[in-house]
Structure 1
Amino acid sequence: MKTFENNQVENWIQENHAAVTAEDKMVDDVRLFANEWEIVEQEKMAAEDDLHNPVYAGQSDRIKRLKKKKIWKFIAPLYRLYANVKVRIILICKTSKKEVIGSIVRKMKNKLLSKIMIKRRNKRFIAKITLSKEQLEEQRNTKFSKDVKFSIVVPLYNTPEQFLRDMIGSVQAQTYGNWELCLADGSDAEHAEVGRICGEYAAKDSRIVYRKLEKNEGISENTNECIRMSTGNYIALFDHDDMLHPAALFRCMQEIEKNDAEFIYTDEMTFEKDSIQNIVTLHFKPAFSPQNLNGVNYICHLSVFKKSLLEKTGLYDNHYDGSQDHDMILKLTTVAKHVSHIPEVLYFWRVHPQSVSMNINAKTYAIDAGRNAVKDNEARLGRKTEVFSSCICATHYRLEYELQENPLVSIFVVNNGSGKGLARLVDSIVKRTEYDNYEICIADFGKSSRETQQFLALAEQEPFIQVRRFEEDVTPAAACNQMAESVRGEYLVFLEADMEILDSRWLNRLLMYTMQDDIAVTGSRIIDPGKFVQEAGYIIGIGADGIAHPVEHGNTFSAPGYIGRMYYAHNVSAVSMWGMMVEKKAFLENGGFNNKLQGVYYLGIDYSLRQRKAGKQVVLEPYIINETHELRLTKLDENRVREKDAQEMKTMWSTVLAQGDPYYNKNFAKDGSFTYDMNS
């Protein structure tokens, strides 16, 4: 970490009560949020590594000494259980009384309404996805130009009769008829009825192919046997206890015909009590999101892919049993030329005590297998990373990439506030930033107080701090663009003067994504002093302005978000400029920030959209959590300037906004809540 070389700077910060401590309560909470709770043998760790493995942070010396003793291997499982419980309790309980009371009231209200609303939702949803006789007939009579045969592969193991009949019946009900159902049966001798039932169906329908395996080789090898049996040119992955929507293959065929898709996935739902009427969850997914897929297997069901892709990926690898589909999907989507998402529920996932969807402990080995699948796939792409389970779900993963280089980062601070706020930000950067190869570049707009000018005069004496002064009529976009041309850093980060750094690894986390070739922008989260989220990326095409809605706005920083997305890096359409990192070379080549925009609110959003248009990814790294005391510049945009910029955005991006956000499923309500739109 850097230190101030000029004692006068630190003295001024102390005298004006702008100093931060290296660690405080909120910093501890942020570190706890990112906790992998991974028990690591102490002998394998250097002493300084404790700081990077929060499971050790804050522990007594007695616990640390205990980990060095042989008895620790017996105590470790109990401690791990304790640690997981502890982190969840702390994240929930570290809130104000007002938050706790509000949470209780909301829960009581939601509980009273949930049964009525869920029943109403389920009834409407089932009616919506149920096809009429005319629709079914129309699909059956549709002729396609491409000749595609789907091989639906289903490894069987002691499948209950009703599950088996439901599964086979749902395939036979498909409106697209060019399919084969490949059943490889690894059931034991006590479940001979599985073979009897399959034989019964196969005798009547030649498209059903059954093979009894000599022995059960496990989920991966049994699936491979199904694939070896297949003769189709597309493979559909199907579990033995689930069901397909009648139009599942038809819609996949349409996607192949229209977009030449090589990998296709659909939305899905879970149900219980042997009827799809009993909906448990509706899983509406985003468009293909590589970062989401590293964080969790959000694709899952239904997955359909071109069989020839297996020539590049190989068949299933039993080293990943338990998370074998996650491993295979990672491989397939890496080599597929076109990955397509159908935002329709076409897969019905049955939940019961033995299913992973009901209880992850039914397959605890899936946790390590999933982490290894992600780690190994990144290694194949030339990226070295460690993969940790998040503190809310063992199969939601946090990645920590190894930085191959140590580039200089230029941290832009746009200042139009008080000297105290600016000093607090600079102090927090210096005291809380682990990555030390950076410079601070302050843009001052001449509206600063005498107090601020005193601080700036002292600060620019530091060798790693420079101050650029601009006239009042210079826009933030113009100022940042001018500074970008003169700074030495290879990467740029943008901060507002009333922010405060909370995460010591914030620059490491920004760099480990932005340095990847296919990622142009990496954003972070901003919270207020009450721990409520202000910005965590944007959903485009909705919101009060019809342009962008801030994700998770008003929620507590520890809230999981939809599919737990606040606990793993994920793709978004746009991020705020505050806390955003870009590569300087690309920034300048793309013209920097848009000079047509007078304020700051839309600068990051516009830049993100331009990068996505160029085929680059925009990533939100939720583990970077910075605090804002008051976003002064953003507030100035709220009136005339922001209205003018909004009109400019609508003119420039009208087509994109009308198409909606690819990462916000079309089935969601238009309020940004990630809930089913009852009026759709």
Structure 2
Amino acid sequence: MSNKDLFVVIDSVARNFEENILEIKGWAFDLKTKKVPEMSVFSSLDIVEKKIKMEYRGDVNCVYNIPPEVECGFIIIAKIENIRKGKLVVKFEDSKIIKLDLNRKFCHPKEVGNPNQGIYIFFQKGYKYLKRNGVKNTLKKIKLHLQNNDQKYIEWIEKNEQMNPDIIKDEINEFSLRPCVSIIMPTYNVDSRWLIKCIESLKAQYYPVWELCVADDASTNTDVKKVLEGYKLQDQRIKVVYRSHNGHISEASNTALTLATGEFIGLLDNDDELSPNALYEIVKKINEFPEVDLIYSDEDKIDKKGKRKNPYFKSDWAPDSLMSANYICHFCVLRKTIVTEVGGFRKGYEGAQDYDLILRVTEKTNKIAHIPKVLYHWRMLETSTSAKANSKNYAFQAGKKALESALERRKIAGTVEYGTNPGLYNVRYDLKGEPLVSVIIPTRDGADDVRKCVTSIFERTTYKNFEIILADNGSQKEETFELFKKFQIKFSSQFKVIRIDIPFNYAKINNLAVKEAKGEYLLFLNNDTEVIEKEWISRMLSFAQLEHVGAVGAKLYYPDDTIQHAGVVLGMGGAAGHIHYFFPKGDNGYFGKLVSTINYLAVTGACLMLKRRDFEAVGGFEEKFTVAYNDVDLCIKLYDQIGLYNVWVHDAELYHFESKSRGYEDNPEKKARFTKEINMLREKWLKYIKHDPFYSPNLTKQHADFSVNLED
């Protein structure tokens, strides 16, 4: 490795003066080969003990396109004779040497709590975004960021969190069910400031029937025991056990679980806070839904000064979203019997022990409820993933392991890969055989569009067992018929043209074309699309083959590489609309939703795959929706009538030039028809327009950018 190609970054340097231990965190790799250099450590003083540990750095791998199996992060731990004097030298191969003067103080702007930390991270992320996406898209991102600043969230809090304790307490007294909620909290060397705030947030709960079950994991910080003993004496609902040895968070959580006598358990980290209405809302939901086994809420972050920011407004239960990330996270309350049934927390999954537990619990029950309120405040600390995703890389490794274990338990063949960002994952389901996929493309003339679309399918698609059925609805130009003949000769049995001479009705044209299709799977595709990703059919099919999945949609771009389709939200703009509209290519989206496979209530029919049997089970496309919303209606029927989940696949990518062959709703007749179809959709599916289960009511439906809802 040459010196100019070797990239080395020191993230942090920490010293333990009592034990003379130095800890250095950073990352290093060769820019050309993407390989990690060998490292060695020297000191001008005697090194008593040293250890170099490599770890996965998803943030670095993402920015520099490093393969996911490469662990370029490092942690160097050195015990030195005198940590206050001399120099420590870290050597990378024979190319680069970094000398650390142990006489100086180390202060890094990345440390949370430093007044410049937030600015530093913003500009650091901005640089990475610029490197990945270019100037034009970065400017678009800055505009989106300014539209979604923390001030809007403060306004949302003031508008939506006005609580009357007296009314709440009167309602609690009327509850027919008043179960005890056991809060499970492992502790280990937590700063007493945050531990006190955490426990005080529990003591401030409006709902009084709770117990706090604490298992201290052999903390060496004596302040922890002082705080716990003080609270234990104050409140008999607080139970504490002190473990004799450190077993890490899974073992400690299981120890805390042995103290629990409640019907439900809640998971609380020892430096976070609950909102005062948290347990009230949980028990209110239990009274509304007595059979519920798992309840989760929305969450936000809280800094050292108590300022709340970065709210995560979640969807209702979404099984495929959960396989992409632990979107449930905090606040999570589970029925104790089912936690016991699945074996509690598992050792070996530390850092993702909650994720692993949730995956196992949701295999046993579908009695799951979401409370769309912010009930949990996740503390932003130096070691917390709430502040910086790369602060706990072992957690993301454990998350991958949890997903791999889930596939094995479920007897589903596939692999798990790290996603674009830490905490995001891509599950690659193996295909079951090579079933025939019928690609149905309606058209009317538009030879240039058809040529581009069909050619891109044959030239760029790795999946080979497909047929194309071109549904010709009134073509008149000779160039169109010549193109059809050319394709029929060139592609033989894989390309078929059927003539459908009826007044334009998109739904009916597709329904008639299905009758000519031979495939087990149907893929409806607009003629003004062009394939980008070669694995597009394989990726869509890998989800369409799953028994619980209905429609599968793709990621569609405009020609300028901005998002045209990344899922459909009911109620957006009054009827239904695309989300993440116009976001630049390469953007991660709201909490990684543009780079994750996500459940939505609907996906666009411009590129939609599903099983033929499911299409027939719901009666195909509703032909009353002649042009608009027939795809949305189909997706809702799959979910509402036969209980299937629709999925948007982020890495099945195509261009969509949109409405070129038919034009826009730009004359009185078309506008009248469009208005009629909006009214039909609202009349038929008003409950989903009022509440789309895969989109939070706390997010706006006036814009497609996931900004907070300040309208209602």
Normalised by the length of structure 2, the TM-score is 0.79
Establish whether residue 536 from structure 1 lines up as the match of residue 566 from structure 2. yes
**1:626 is matched with which residue?**
654
1:606 is aligned to 2:633: yes
How far the C-alpha of 1:98 sits from its partner, in A, is 5.4
1:503-544 residue CA offsets vs partner (Å, 9 max, x unmatched)? 11111111111111111110112111110111221110121x
How far 1:187 moved relative to its partner?
A: 3.5
Separation of aligned partners in 2, 1:332 and 1:194: 32
Q: Distance in 2 between matches of 1:460 and 1:365?
A: 54
629 and 305 in structure 1: CA distance in 2 versus 1, 3 angstrom threshold: same
Query: How far, CA to CA, are the matches of 1:248 and 1:298 in structure 2?
Result: 18
| CA deviation map 1:471-507 (0-9, x unaligned) | 1415222221122123210000011112111111111
Deviations 1:542-600 (A, max 9, x none): 21xx110111111112221111101111110111111100111221232111111111x
Give the SS at the match of 1:335. Answer: coil
Larger RCO: 1 or 2 (CA < 8 Å, sep 6+): 1
Aligned residues with identical type, % of pairs:
26
| 1:667/1:536 CA distance change after superposition, 3 Å | same
Give, in angstroms, the shift of residue 330 of structure 1.
Answer: 1.3
CA shift, 1:103, in A, is 5.7
Match of 1:200 in 2: 230
> Contact (CA 8 Å) 1:408, 1:437: kept in 2 or not?
yes
Residue in 2 that maps onto 1:39 = none
* Aligned residues of 1:375 and 1:384 also touching (Cα < 8 A): no
1:443 is aligned, of 471, 480, 486, to 471
Give 1:134 shift. Answer: 2.4
1:269 to 286, 292, 300: 300
The residue that corresponds to 1:484 in the other structure is 514
User: How many pairs were matched up?
Assistant: 601
Q: Distance in 2 between matches of 1:254 and 1:637?
A: 46
Asked whether 1:387 is paired with 2:428, we answer no
Match status 1:84 vs 2:62: yes
The alignment status of 1:642 with 2:671, answered yes or no, reads no
Q: Aligned ranges for residues 130-529 of structure 1 at < 5 Å?
A: 130-139=162-171, 141-189=172-220, 191-260=221-290, 261-275=292-306, 278-391=307-420, 393-461=421-489, 462-473=492-503, 475-529=505-559
Q: Which residue matches 2:699?
A: 668
**Contact kept? 2:150, 2:310, Cα under 8 Å:** no
CA drift of 1:447 comes to: 2.5
1:81–1:679 CA distance, 2 compared to 1 (3 A) = closer
For residues 156 and 603 of structure 2, what CA distance do their matches in structure 1 show? Answer: 34
Unpaired runs of at least 5, structure 2 = 1-29, 40-51, 66-124
1:323 Cα deviation (Å)? 0.9
CA shift for structure 1 position 84: 3.4
Name structure 1 gaps, 5 residues minimum. 1-58
Q: Deviations over 1:359-406 (max 9, x none)?
A: 333322112111111121122222122111222x12111121111221
Report the Cα offset of residue 100 of structure 1. Answer: 5.7
- What code does the residue aligned with 2:187 have? L
Partner Cα distance (1:429, 1:495) in 2: 11
CA distance in 1, matches of 2:139, 2:260: 58
Counterpart-to-counterpart distance in 2, 1:431 and 1:230:
61
Q: How does 1:581-592 map to 2 (within 5 A)?
A: 581-592=609-620
CA-to-partner distance for each residue in 1:590-644, whole Å, 9 max, x for gaps?
2111111111x31211100111102110110111111123433563556243233
Shift in CA distance, 485/120, structure 1 to aligned 2, threshold 3 Å? closer
Counterpart amino acid of 1:265?
Y
Structure 1 stretch 609-618 or stretch 477-486: which is displaced more? 477-486
Match of 2:15 in 1: none
Q: Give the deviation of 1:673 after TM superposition.
A: 2.6
Does the 8 A contact of 1:572 with 1:619 survive in 2? yes
Cα separation, 2, equivalents of 1:606 and 1:128: 32
SS in 1 for 2:650: strand
User: Can you list the C-alpha shifts for 1:51-109, whole angstroms capped at 9, x where unaligned?
Assistant: xxxxxxxx99x959x99x999xx9x98999875333498974576775566666x38xx
> 2 CA distance for matches of 1:271 and 1:82?
26
Q: TM-score, normalised by structure 1?
A: 0.83
**SS where residue 612 of structure 1 aligns?**
helix
Q: 2:681 is paired with a residue of what secondary structure?
A: helix
The 1:518–1:282 alpha-carbon spacing in structure 2 relative to 1, beyond 3 Å, is same
* Counterpart contact for 1:419–1:448, Cα < 8 Å: no
Distance in 1, matches of 2:551 and 2:281, equals: 34
For residue 652 of structure 1, the aligned residue among 684, 687, 700 is 684
- Give deviations 1:291-322, integer Å, cap 9, x for gaps: 11111111111000101112431111121111
Q: Label 1:350 to 1:97 Cα distance change in 2 as closer, same or farther (>3 A).
A: closer
Aligned residues of 2:137 and 2:584 also touching (Cα < 8 A)? no
Cα deviation, residue 149, structure 1: 1.3
Q: Is the 8 A contact 1:526 1:535 kept in 2?
A: yes
Question: Residues 543-562 of structure 1: matches in 2 within 5 Å?
Answer: 543=573, 546-562=574-590
Kindly tell me: are residues 92 and 507 of structure 1, through their superposed partners in 2, closer, same or farther at Cα, counting changes over 3 Å? farther
Change in Cα spacing, 1:166 to 1:80, as seen in structure 2 (3 Å) is closer
Shift of 1:280: 2.5
Separation of aligned partners in 2, 1:94 and 1:345 = 33
* Contact 2:153-2:309 at 8 Å conserved across structures: no
Give the secondary structure class of the aligned counterpart of 1:429: helix
2:509 partner SS: helix
Decide whether aligned partners of structure 1 residues 481 and 91 sit closer, same or farther in structure 2, where only a CA change above 3 A counts: farther
Q: What RMSD over aligned residues (CA atoms) do the two structures have, in Å?
A: 2.8
For 1:174 and 1:471, locate their aligned partners in 2 and report how far apart those are by CA, in whole Å. 67
C-alpha distance after superposition, 1:641-668 (max 9, x if no partner): 32332232223223332x3212221111
Q: 1:175 to 1:634 in 2, by over 3 A?
A: farther
Cα contact 2:467–2:494 (8 A) shared by 1: yes
Name the CA shift for 1:259/1:281 in 2 (closer, same or farther; >3 Å).
Answer: same
**Hey, what's the Cα distance between the residues in 2 that align with 1:446 and 1:438?**
25
Structure 1 counterpart of 2:208, one-letter code: G
User: Relative to 1, partners in 2 of residues 1:125 and 1:406: Cα closer, same or farther, differing over 3 Å?
Assistant: same
Counterpart code for 1:420: D
User: Which secondary structure state, in structure 1, belongs to the residue aligned with residue 663 of structure 2?
Assistant: helix
Q: Deviations over 1:299-356 (max 9, x none)?
A: 1110001011124311111211111111111111221231000001111111111212
User: Do the aligned partners of residues 605 and 390 (structure 1) sit closer, same or farther apart at CA in structure 2, a change above 3 Å counting?
Assistant: same
Q: Distance in 2 between matches of 1:597 and 1:664?
A: 24
Task: Tell me the distance in 1 between the aligned counterparts of 2:531 and 2:559.
Answer: 12
Distance change >3 Å, CA 513–CA 448, structure 1 → 2: farther
